[in-house]
Amino acid sequence: MQIAIASGKGGTGKTTVATSLALSADKATQYLDCDVEEPNGHIFLKPDFNHSEICTVTIPEVNTEKCTACGKCKDICRYNAIVQFGDTVMTFPEMCHSCLGCFLVCEDDALISSTREIGVLESGIASGIDFVHGHVRIGEAMGVPLLKAVKAKADPDKLVIIDAPPGTSCPFVESISNVDYVILVTEPTPFGLYDLKLAVQVLQNFNIPGGIIINRSDLGDNKVQEFCEEVGLPVLMEIPFERKIAEGYARGKPLIETVPELRTAFNNVLEQLTRQMA
């Protein structure tokens, strides 16, 4: 089973919940940190890395000897990665989304397949958990190809916890695609509720089952609970605000180490989802 832990906004405690679920599982578990622009699951799980690989995407280069400047590659590129000045065709690798459409329309075989580094993928073991994350290259505009590389490491024989990037843009959508369940972590504030509504709309559009975990639940108001009742999403768990939780987080300690009694609650969530997905 694949469970994605996501949130409509940053700072709600998504990684706190994701790492706690992974540590609380009583079955073989894998943790995929898909927040490739700013992965921080390793801060809490402290894995011993044993593998690293450079990830690349395919980009075109122009063979000037074969190019007839027909302009078809330029016309199909929606990202302006290929431009034409008279008979000169130029490519801009940093803007290429590696859709490969230009190769399909070039009838003169004038495009050469090249590669561009987008980041590094690392894997290892953390407290018996298979751990995988990616670090996107500094200055790289596209994190989704590296995110896909992380998800490709998912082990079908294990419980897979996916720590999704915050927000509701393309990386979020890619992270939750083809998962069995999505847990949305939110907070009882106007900002938390607003962004939760956006994330819930995405789940509804993709017809993905989901539930809510409310962090710092004793702050703010009850509008998040009211919204969940309105749309029929279960509140799987509520985590109260405690100063010691914040202090443990600042020291890089997992939540269930700071508050050990929450381990049972997280395990109960996993057992509930296992029964529901069976």
Q: What's the pLDDT score for residue 9?
A: 81
- pLDDT at position 90: 95
216 pLDDT band, cuts 50/70/90, is: very high
Burial of 43 (0-12, 13-18, 19+ CB in 10 A): middle
- In this prediction, residue 261 carries a pLDDT of 92
Predicted confidence at residue 10, as pLDDT, reads: 83
Q: For residue 277, what pLDDT is reported?
A: 81
Report d(CA 134, CA 119) in Å as an integer: 7
Strands 48-62 and 235-239 turn out to be unpaired
Residue 172: band (very low, low, confident or very high) from pLDDT cuts 50, 70, 90 = very high
List, for residues 78-126, the tens digit of each pLDDT value.
999 999 999 999 999 999 999 999 999 999 999 999 999 999 999 999 9
What's the pLDDT at 276? Answer: 87
Domains and CATH numbers, the chain: 2-46+127-277 (3.40.50.300), 57-117 (3.30.70.20)
* CA–CA dist 32, 269 (Å, integer): 19
Helix or strand run (H / E) with residue 131? strand 129-136
Per-residue confidence (pLDDT) for residue 8, from 0 to 100: 81
pLDDT digits (tens, 9 = 90+) for 186-208: 999 999 999 999 999 999 999 99
Quick one: pLDDT at residue 58? 95
pLDDT in tens, 217-229: 988 889 999 999 9
Confidence of residue 149 (pLDDT cuts 50, 70, 90): very high
What mean pLDDT is predicted for residues 43-66? 96
Q: What pLDDT shows up at residue 97? A: 92
Residue labelled with tokens 């509930």: 272
Judge whether residue 278 has pLDDT over 80.
Answer: no
**What is the side-by-side strand order in the sheet with 48-62?**
48-62, 111-126, 129-136, 29-33, 159-163, 2-6, 181-186, 210-215, 235-239
Q: What pLDDT, on a 0 to 100 scale, did the predictor assign at position 160?
A: 98
- What percent of the chain stands above pLDDT 90? 90
156 confidence band (pLDDT: 50, 70, 90): very high
Q: How far is C-alpha 273 from the chain's CA centre? A: 20
pLDDT of residue 112: 96
Backbone angles phi, psi at 123, to 5 degrees: -140, 155
pTM of the complete model: 0.91
> What's the whole-number mean pLDDT along residues 39-48?
96
